[in-house]
Amino acid sequence: MQQNNRISYPSPAIPLAPVLSEKSIKLSHTSRDVKSILSNSEQIHVTSGRAGIALALEHAGITEKDEVLIPAYHCESMISPVLWRVATPVFYQINADTSINDDDIIGKITSSTKAIIVTHYFGRIQNLCNVKKLCDENNIILIEDCAHAFFGSKNGVPVGTVGDYSIASSMKFFPCFDGGVLASSKHSLNTINLESQPASLQLKSFFNIVERAINYGRFGFLGKLLKAILKVKELTWNSIKRLRKSSVSTAISPSSSEGGYGLDQNWIHKNTSTPSLMTIKKSDYKRITSKRRANYEKLYTALEGLENAHPLFDALDKECVPLVFPLFVNSPEAFDTLKRQGVPIWRFGEFLDEQINQELCPNSMTLSSHVFQFPCHQELTSKELDWMIEKIIHAIK
């Protein structure tokens, strides 16, 4: 991967990802009819989206000498599962609007091509008609990468239900510590055996969910009471680390939960921790989808008139549930300014594989540096959104 020296920035002043709040949980099941990757007939909850990709490739029998087509606009977590299977990643072009370049995919298919991964960038669902037909004609496995699109549909068809397999990253849409989904409506997943998380991870998952909520001022008066619980957590956690200090065991949590992009082999065949899974299952799905759309629209209205930037996409399709608000910025230098001010911002594909260059896919090169992502998740308050908008306008203008 093309890695630059990482700069140390302050923590985001407002939450970059969802944090637990008093409104997050819905005990009834009335909101479960929302179209999502969970609309598939088969689904298992794993540690991360990248673990889902790895398990899909393993389940499909992808192995050495096989080729897997991956979009040139990507992150490392999409490539590492392919390398884990000792297969060869082959990169195909995307268009400037992140849609699939069907012609380039056709040109990249060989007798060794066994799988194609298609990404629904930022929650905008791809048109899969052509690539699905291509896969069917050539006996190729189609994997939908729904890491950016847990919810939503296209022409009434739920996201993640067209391909042979689909994966999602629960951590991007729910206030959980770990979690991903592998789903399918074409293949039975009951032969995939997953192990339970160790007690140490279960504890860390619970305390991380609570601690992040408190750090960002959620729960109000209840937060003060929970701070006392966290003091007990520190004692418990320090004891666990001392017990593990001399052992040569696996990491206490997957890197995906700590902001890393690699694939931890020891966490592929494990399920989502119980605290995270309960958070996912008890969340209010209708609130998630409506709030994300409303927050996106607010950002769109406030930022569409900027002279030196423009929304990557037009106004939301009625079936789209966004992950973030992607803004194409003419001068990438503003990224550093906003990060230093504590604005929650990141760039997908910031570090592309070393094979990616202007000749292979100029659109990926441009998008990786010029597209800034800002949160529009369901747990942002109006005050937090207003603060973020003000900072963006001042930095970019």
Neighbours of 195 (CB within 10 A): 10
Per cent of the chain over pLDDT 90 is 77
Sign of CA dihedral 257, 262, 264, 267: positive
Cα Rg of the chain (Å, integer): 21
Per-residue pLDDT tens over the stretch 1-55: 444 455 788 999 999 999 998 888 877 655 568 999 999 999 999 999 999 999 9
Mean pLDDT of 284-288: 95
Q: Which of 49, 56, 95, 57 is nearest to 75 (CA)?
A: 49
Task: Identify the residue whose tokens are 């966490």.
Answer: 267
Q: Read off the pLDDT band of 218 (50, 70, 90).
A: confident
pLDDT at 235 over 70: no
Instruction: Give the pLDDT of residue 4.
Output: 47
Instruction: Give the pLDDT of residue 72.
Output: 98
Instruction: Give the pLDDT of residue 244.
Output: 54
pLDDT at 119 over 60: yes
Instruction: Give the pLDDT of residue 207.
Output: 85
Per-residue pLDDT tens over the stretch 310-319: 999 988 999 9
Query: Comparing 207 with 137, which gets the higher pLDDT?
Result: 137
The DSSP string of 254-299 is -GGGGT--S--GGGTTBBPPHHHHHHHHHB-HHHHHHHHHHHHHHH
Beta bridge partners of 326: 373
Instruction: Give the pLDDT of residue 200.
Output: 86
Neighbours of 2 (CB within 10 A): 12
pLDDT at 227 over 50: yes
pLDDT at 186 over 70: yes
Q: In whole numbers, what is the pLDDT of the chain averaged over residues?
A: 90
Per-residue pLDDT tens over the stretch 244-257: 554 444 566 777 77
